[in-house]
Chains A and B, each alone.
Chain A
Amino acid sequence: MSSKEKTWKEISIAGIPPKSSIGFMTGDWKTYMPVRDLEKCTICLTCVMFCPEGAIKWRPEMGKIEFDFSFCKGCGICANECPTKAITMKMPEE
């Protein structure tokens, strides 16, 4: 273990994490990733509401949708729910 890790006396009980899970990048678990066809996307925000990880962000100031691949796990719910079929799930190398 690295010297930065704390001892059992230094940490709160019961596994209470002293950091938010925002620092714990979980996006590298995915096999498939969502790819959006900007021609078909109507920015209806259905994908934003359905994403269980909050990894699709609506930026109203820019009028844009952003995918945060640090947290996207490639579940494909966005692709499944998209009413215009603008999102497809692809292997990263495709």
Chain B
Amino acid sequence: MTLKTKQETTAMNGDEAVAFAVKQCDVDVVAAYPITPQTIIVEKFSEYVANGEVQTEFVCTESEHSAMTACLAASATGARTFTASASAGLALMHEMLFVTSGSRTPVVMAVANRALSAPLNIHGDHSDSMAERDSGWLQIYVENAQEAYDSIIQAFKIAEEIGVSLPIIVGLDGFTISHTLERVDVLSEDVVKKFVGERQFPMVLTHEGKTVPFKLDPENPMTMGPNALQNYYFEFKRQQQEGMNNALKSIPEVNSEYAKISGRSYGNGLIDPYKLEDAEIAIVCIGSTAGTLKVIVDQLREEGVKAGVLRLRTFRPLPVEELRNALKNTKVVAVMDKSMSPGGLGAAVFHEVRNALYDLNQHPIMVNYIFGLGGRDSNPRDLRRIFEDLLKIAKTGVVEKQVHYLGLRE
């Protein structure tokens, strides 16, 4: 594919790639509070501000709850807004995450995924953003630093799409992506600015009987954040589901539009399948683990094993149809979860994927592997063992254990 746009090859870690993308997206307000492993994003961006490289209003808040509140308020005035967080910081934002999505303000947030205390742990797993599954935010998980850069640019366009108008989390694995130096090809600033464009606004009817753009504007006053009780609350929540449904269309569109300027795309934007067409056994995962799994699939393919990987890139909205189509011909599927739902049957991704496949006439046998908690390494040998387990299940049809703990000392 020949591209008209010129790109520069840089070396950045995932956090730096995120900060660089934000710098190029003409962001009006960044309100953030640093927390490991997201800190570099905030540090790097504050450097851009101090050097006068961006015109962004940078708000140093006293907590993450305040950071998200400031982002919500800024976004309500029509400002393009960004923040970043992780772990305990994201948990402290919890209340305001619901207010932000319910207020339909398209804030973009990078989450450098990290474990939650206790015991205290700063390393990477998905416990933080999985706990915010129902907060009404879109959630995209990236595989590497390059995708972190690309996805932040895409995120503004997706979130600000009129039919969507919802905030979005771009999740990058703590340390594995956030702190690892990688090759990142970057577009020029004018190409990115043109791609992202000006922020768009849905039209709303105000109490003055005027239909105006949805933003706080003294010329067109409107009430934002009112109460809606038994009579209307439910209707507004249903509207949020529609925003999610619309995102199922917008994310693939933005993914292919972006491919035109960059030459890079990630599956169809929702799922990123690898050698799945004729696969009999497959692993579903999110985030950086997909990279290692693809290498193992290549090895297995050479050995004549029909193995494949499905990386779930978009977790919210859940691409139900795509999951069904991609996995309908598989015999056994393992779903990997880098978080736990203590007391549940497996963890979040397993719940979601298994639920999506339930209505297939013939659905694959499904097992769950919980792994990598608190940053525990998941090496190729362990991951290969999952495929070996799947082969055994495919042969015997017997599932001895539905939920496994990979790499745990037992």
Contact B238 A8 (CB under 8 A): yes
Neighbouring B residues of A17 by C-beta, 8 Å = 207, 223, 226
**Closest CB-CB distance, B364 to chain A, in whole Å?**
36
Q: Report the nearest A residue to B238, measured CB to CB.
A: A8
Contacts of B225 in A (CB 8 A): 15
Assembled-state Cα–Cα distance A18/B238 (Å): 18
User: What residues on A are CB-neighbors of B104 within 8 Å?
Assistant: 13-14
B228-270 with Cβ < 8 A to chain A:
228, 231-232, 234-236, 238-239, 242
Q: Which residues of A contact B234 (CB under 8 A)?
A: 8
- Beta-carbon nearest neighbor of B243 in chain A: A13
Q: Say yes or no for B372: interface residue by CB 8 A criterion.
A: no
Tell me which of B206, B209, B235, B238 contacts A16 (CB under 8 A): B206
Residues of A within 8 A of B174 (CB): none
- Cβ of A3 within 8 Å of any chain B Cβ, yes or no, is no
Q: Decide yes or no whether A59 CB sits under 8 A from chain B.
A: no
Nearest A residue to B105 via CB reads A14
A14 engages B224 (CB within 8 Å)? yes
A13 touches B165 (CB 8 A): yes
Query: In terms of DSSP, what is the predominant structure of the interface of chain B?
Result: loop
**For residue A8, which residues in chain B have a CB less than 8 angstroms away from its CB?**
234-236, 238-239, 242
* Shortest distance from the beta carbon of A34 to any chain B beta carbon, whole Å: 26
A21 and B235 within 8 A (CB): no
> A16–B223 contact, CB under 8 A?
yes
Cβ of B204 under 8 Å from chain A:
yes
Complex Cα gap A11–B238 (Å): 11
Contact with A along B96-108 (1 / 0, CB 8 A): 0000001110000
Contacts of B222 in A (CB 8 A): 16
A64 contacts partner chain B, Cβ-Cβ < 8 Å:
no
Residues of A near B202 (CB, < 8 A) are 13
Q: How large is the interface on B (under 10, 10 to 19, 20 to 34, 35 or more residues)?
A: 20 to 34
A62: Cβ under 8 A from any B Cβ: no
Interchain CB contact under 8 A, A19 and B207 = yes
Inside 8 A of B102's CB, which chain A residues have their CB? 14-15
A76 smallest CB distance to B (angstroms): 24
A11 and B235 contact, Cβ closer than 8 Å, known pairs A16-B205, A18-B205, A19-B207:
yes
Is residue B214 within 8 Å, beta carbon to beta carbon, of the partner chain? yes
Residues on A with beta carbons closer than 8 Å to the beta carbon of B223: 16-17, 21
A23 to chain B: closest CB distance in Å? 9
Contact between B232 and A16, CB atoms less than 8 A apart:
no
A4-35: which residues lie under 8 A (CB-CB) from chain B?
5-8, 11-21
Interface residue A38 (Cβ < 8 Å from any Cβ of B): no
- Measured in the bound complex, the distance between the Cα atoms of B237 and A11 in whole Å is 12
| Complex partner residue of B231 from A5, A12, A13, A21, CB under 8 angstroms | A5
Tell me which residues across on chain B come within 8 A of A18, comparing CB atoms: 205-207, 209
Q: Which B residues are in CB contact (< 8 Å) with A6?
A: 235
Q: A14-B214, A15-B226, A17-B207 are in contact. List 13 more A-B contacts (CB 8 A).
A: A8-B236, A8-B238, A12-B205, A14-B104, A14-B224, A15-B102, A15-B225, A16-B204, A16-B214, A16-B224, A19-B207, A20-B207, A21-B226
20 contacts between A and B (CB under 8 A): A8-B239, A11-B232, A11-B235, A13-B165, A13-B202, A13-B204, A13-B214, A13-B236, A14-B102, A14-B104, A14-B165, A14-B214, A14-B224, A15-B102, A15-B224, A15-B225, A16-B204, A17-B207, A18-B209, A21-B207
Chain A residues close to B by CB (< 8 Å): 1, 5-8, 11-21
